[in-house]
Amino acid sequence: MIYLDNAATSFPKPEPVYQALDRFARTSLANPGRAGHRMAVAAERTLDAARHALNQFFHGEAPERWIFTLNCTDGLNLAIKGIIQAGDHVVTTDLEHNSISRPLQALEKAGVISLTRVASVDGYVDPGAIRAAITSKTSLVALTHASNVLGTVQPIEAIASIVRETAALFLVDAAQSAGVVPIDLRATPIDLLAFPGHKALYGPTGTGALYVGPRTDGKFRPWREGGTGGDSSSATQPIQLPYLLEGGTPNVLGVAGLAAGIAWVAERGPESLRRHEVELLQQVVDWAEDSDCWRVAGRWDPETHVGALSLLAPEPLTPQDLGGILDASFEIAIRPGLHCAPYIHRALGSFPDGTLRLSPGPFTTPDDIKAFITALTEITAETR
């Protein structure tokens, strides 16, 4: 199988991730912090070491500010529902994944918040449009770092500076950027950073994290209350991070794999991993430009792009037909459809069928991309 669906979840994982998962599962898979025996202590140390690794990788304020989550959706919901108050105004964009759009839309529908959705242009959000949308009631600006449909990287540094001049918090969805675009929390004032562990940080599914910066202190309501392993005598959730926001047995096995993934990425550097993927996509962009019927969605700029690209399918082919044929006849895995991001497809005019998204990974080769291009050329020639 040629796997070109790394934007959904990365496959394969680097070898050290498989090794870490196997080793941890066989030797240390106890309940962290729940007992004093050596296996529980080893499990707790694994969590602590991973929090340190995240803090170092993204230059956060402190390891305890990293909350382990189930995935990026979990972290985004934790941030949105843990912070928002009745009467707040929230600014977001038409690039968002449903993991931001749906919780915000539901809160707006319930009359809890008012919402402004800023339109992107060619896949990019203009910082000036965010500035114009912020009001005195804005408590949160929620934005994806890189579009999961178009692969375009947003100017979060400029937007973070604008938000920091106001009372609002800045929530960044780094689902498509964590691991391939450097994020420095010392240089960029982000209050809340959510990302999955299972995409470009190469952990297993069931992993993710939310960074909660100092400006959120005292503002969070816990929404997953329960055991934390520490002070069980307290009648309510401890107020200390990370326990305020982590209840129940954590996915410590997944975190062990995630830590190995982060180490692997840190060794290579996000920028070199991004470049590899963008160079592969350039092959597809060049082919689409030369073809008489394929078009790339959004503006292609290799300097501000991650490894995801959407192709607009020529009629009468639908992205769904193409996805099925590529899988069944060519053993190529891509993702057709709306990619859980309906607003940008409406803006592109590709709603409701969507686009054909390909997303190479660090182990994808130029020959894999050649095979994808050959397959699309054959399918197009046969059906048109």
Contact residues toward ligand PLP (CB under 6 A) are: 8, 71-73, 97, 99, 144, 148, 173, 175-176, 196, 208
Tell me the closest approach of the beta carbon of residue 34 to ligand PLP, in angstroms: 26
Residue partners of 261: CB distance under 8 A and separation at least 6: 13, 14, 17, 179, 197, 201, 202, 203
Q: Which is nearer to ligand PLP, 127 or 197 (CB)?
A: 197
For residues 123, 127, 133, 134, the Cα torsion angle rounded to the nearest 10 degrees is 140
In angstroms, what is the minimal distance from the CB of 117 to ligand PLP? 15
By the 10 Å C-beta count (0-12 exposed, 13-18 middle, 19+ buried), 280 is classed as buried
Pairing of strands 335-337, 332-333: unpaired
- Burial of 284: CB neighbours in 10 Å, binned 0-12, 13-18, 19+: buried
Min CB(173)–ligand PLP separation in Å: 5
Q: SS3 for 141?
A: strand
State which H helix or E strand residue 312 sits in: strand 309-312
Quote the CA–CA distance of 226 and 242 in Å, as a whole number: 13
To ligand PLP, the closest distance from the beta carbon of 103 in angstroms equals: 11
Cis peptide, bond prior to residue 242, ω within 30 of zero: yes
Q: How far does CA 244 lie from the centroid of its chain?
A: 23
Closest approach, Cβ 175 to ligand PLP, in A, equals: 3
The answer to whether the beta carbons of residues 112 and 84 sit under 8 Å apart is yes
Beta strands (DSSP E) in 51-146 are: 66-69, 89-93, 114-118, 138-144
Neighbouring-strand partners of residue 121 = 124
Nearer to ligand PLP, 204 or 229 (CB): 204
Q: Indicate the residue among 44 and 74 with the shorter CB distance to ligand PLP.
A: 74
Cβ–Cβ < 8 Å for 261, 17: yes
Nearer to ligand PLP, 200 or 325 (CB): 200
Other CB atoms within 10 A of residue 152 CB: 25
Task: Give 83 or 317: the residue with its C-beta nearer to ligand PLP.
Answer: 83
Q: Which is nearer to ligand PLP, 79 or 375 (CB)?
A: 79
Q: Within a 10 A sphere around the Cβ of 121, how many other Cβ atoms?
A: 11
List, in sequence order, every residue forming a beta bridge with 172; answer none if it has no partner: 143, 193
Nearest approach in angstroms of CB 46 to ligand PLP is 21
Nearest distance, CB of residue 165 and ligand PLP, angstroms: 26
Residue 54's nearest CA partner among 187, 176, 197, 162 is 197
CA proximity to 58, closest of 157, 183, 202: 183
**Which CB sits closer to ligand PLP, 258 or 379?**
258
State the minimum distance, in angstroms, from the CB of residue 145 to ligand PLP.
8
Is the Cβ of residue 44 or residue 96 nearer to ligand PLP in the bound state? 96
Question: Which of residues 71 and 364 has its CB atom nearest to ligand PLP in the complex?
Answer: 71
- Minimum distance from CB of 251 to ligand PLP (Å)? 13
Q: Measured from the CB atom, is 71 or 92 closer to ligand PLP?
A: 71
Least gap, CB of 148 to ligand PLP (angstroms): 3
